[in-house]
Structure 1
Amino acid sequence: MTKYVNLNKRKLPLWMMLVLMVISIAMGWAGCDGQRDPSLAGMEEAYVKRVVDGDTFITGNDERVRLIGIDAPESVKPDTLPEPYGPEASAYVKELLEGKTVYMDVDVSDTDRFDRLLRYIYLADGTFVNEKLLEEGYARHVVFPPDVAFEARLRDAENRAKSDGEGLWGLTD
């Protein structure tokens, strides 16, 4: 004889209720709530169609986006050899962003002199990409006022990478 649980006048087998509870608990532990980080609400969503290099990508709408506060070593500059750690930075950003939806936040300036959108970039889980690239040594911190909202945070990320010898900071001559 199967036992039933009464939920709002619907009867479900007890075993089904237990399975649903276990799945719900497991999803909560894994952080799989199907939602994006709430701090991303109100940010501009963009699909990353192609990564150009370690600090620039192209959206699904063919807009060029430049990450604020970072400068990755060059890897695709015409008529020049790639800079040390440039190809690694480009490959890492490609793996991190290409084919994914990101969330973009503007500071003061909308575009730079090359008409690229200037943005802070976040992944759906809330990862601050600009900071992550600095922390892992894939870029250097640069400041172009008036876009300085996260200047101290980004500088600190670069300093941690330097002291730990991460990425380009671990290169020897």
Structure 2
Amino acid sequence: MGRKTFIRTPATGRKRQHKERRLRPAYVAALLVISLACFSTGAAQHALSPPQTVHEGVVTRVVDGDTLYIKGLETRIRLWGLDAPERGKKGGYRATRMLREIAHGRHLSCREVDIDRYGRIVAQCFRPDGRDAAALMIESGAAKEYLRYSGGYYSRTAMAGGD
């Protein structure tokens, strides 16, 4: 298995036999095969994951500057990557009014990103003309980009000249 060597123990100073242990090639090969199987299974599961859910419909109600309802969907939708002032706070009324102008009564196509702690669907929502509702809110100055979640997506998009 390995060659024998002698070492002194720190406590007693006596010599004792020590065997160097080497991994046998068969063990190394088995570990490699198992590792590859685990990684390839994970990649396959990721590749087979279902596509994002898309919620489409006409906006029936705007709750505040970043939350709305779509006809036929009971759950509220929170616009992804958007930080709008809350109702009753400075700028809250303006943000709510702006989202009404942008979305109320219009058809939106919302790609679900997450479900937040309040049970709302967090989604990136687009009008039929392809404009992103959150980007329009940011451009208007009624809301800011929520960098914690967007990772700077809207800033990069604006610098590139797109929506």
Aligned-partner residue type, residue 96 of structure 1: I
Structure 2 runs not aligned, ≥5 long:
1-52
Higher strand share: 2
Contact kept? 1:102, 1:121, Cα under 8 Å: yes
Please report the TM-score for the alignment, with normalisation by the length of structure 2. Answer: 0.58
The percentage of aligned residue pairs carrying the same residue is: 27
Cα distance, 1:91–1:43 mapped onto 2, change above 3 Å? same
Alpha-carbon RMSD across the aligned residues, in angstroms, is 2.2
Structure 1 runs not aligned, ≥5 long:
1-41, 76-81, 160-173
> In the alignment, what sits opposite 2:15?
none
| Offset at residue 44 of structure 1 (A) | 3.1
| Offset at residue 89 of structure 1 (A) | 0.9
Give matches, 1:1-173, under 5 Å. Answer: 43-60=54-71, 61-75=73-87, 82-107=88-113, 109=114, 111-145=115-149, 148=150, 151-156=151-156
| Offset at residue 157 of structure 1 (A) | 6.8
Contact kept? 1:104, 1:120, Cα under 8 Å: yes
Give the structure with higher Rg (CA).
2
Aligned equivalents of 2:61, 2:90: Cα separation in 1:
22
Please report the TM-score for the alignment, with normalisation by the length of structure 1. Answer: 0.55
Aligned equivalents of 1:143, 1:95: Cα separation in 2:
24
Aligned equivalents of 2:127, 2:98: Cα separation in 1:
14
